[in-house]
Amino acid sequence: MAVLAESGSNPDVDLLYDINGLAKDAPHWFDRVMEFVGEYGLLLAMVLLVLWCWWSVRRRADEDAASSVAALVWAPLAAGIAVLVNVPIRGFVERPRPFVDHRGLDVLVSGKTDFSFVSDHATITMALGVGLFVANRRFGIVGIGLALLEGFCRVYMGVHYPTDVVGGFALGTAVALLLSPLATALLTPLMKAVERSPRAGWIVRRRSVAGGQRDALVPGARKPVESEEKDLAA
């Protein structure tokens, strides 16, 4: 189980050399950009995308806001669960990083000593992307696109085989989709309770207050003139 790809005749290894070969021909500054994007940049972009989707959902403040936010909360939870599931998978497969068994790779990130299958980065980004798709298709398509780019970057950087990335995509997708009904059933009542909370309701729905309602909610505000006249008449 230690090595899933041993020779250059393996399509997995051939594709690894083809994609990583692009790094050898690219300018040094471009490799540094890809290193940052593949290691940190796309993960940060996914987090910002989730926050953007949340902001969009709460601003709409429609009747399904609680269920939409519940589905959105599931996205990062799915990513975390998928990474935990990956821990025993890595220990069982024990696949070394590609640069351990194959020479001539242009490795952009040093210090990778853990096992290669499956890619944590691919798992996290795809779980977030699919989770976003469950909550909002428009944001989800963007998220899945970023996850695919993350997978390409990991192979380009010489730290993963293509099948490591595909395995990460499969794991992230499976966790996000298969557990989504249960997660939504558990999280939706919680989000509805949060929505009813005077202090935490803004997390689910934007408060739209106008006119006399604003006066009623502001401590010490004067009553409207009509209300004062009715009180005097009584």
What average pLDDT does the chain have? 84
Contact by Cβ (8 Å): 174, 126: no
- What is the rounded distance in angstroms from the CA atom of residue 34 to the CA atom of residue 199? 43
Q: Which two tokens stand for residue 220?
A: 């010490």
The model's pLDDT over 62-112, given as tens digits with 9 standing for 90+, comes to 667 788 888 899 999 999 999 999 999 999 998 999 988 888 898 898 878
For 113-158, how does the pLDDT look when each residue is reduced to its tens digit (9 = 90+)? 889 999 999 999 999 999 999 989 999 999 999 999 999 999 999 9
Query: Where are the strands (E) in 96-231, listed by range?
Result: none
Q: What is the pLDDT of residues 203-214, one digit of tens each?
A: 787 765 443 343
Delineate the domains of the chain, giving CATH numbers in brackets: 11-203 (1.20.144)
Please report the pLDDT score of residue 154 as a whole number. Answer: 95
Question: Which residue, 89, 109, 88, is CA-closest to 98?
Answer: 109
CA distance 143 to 126: 8
Amino acid 161: pLDDT: 95
pLDDT tens-place string over residues 11-27: 899 999 999 999 988 99
d(Cα 50, Cα 55) in Å, to the nearest integer? 9
pTM of the full structure: 0.81
The whole-number pLDDT of residue 5 equals 42
CB neighbour class for 96 (10 Å; exposed up to 12, middle 13-18, buried from 19): middle
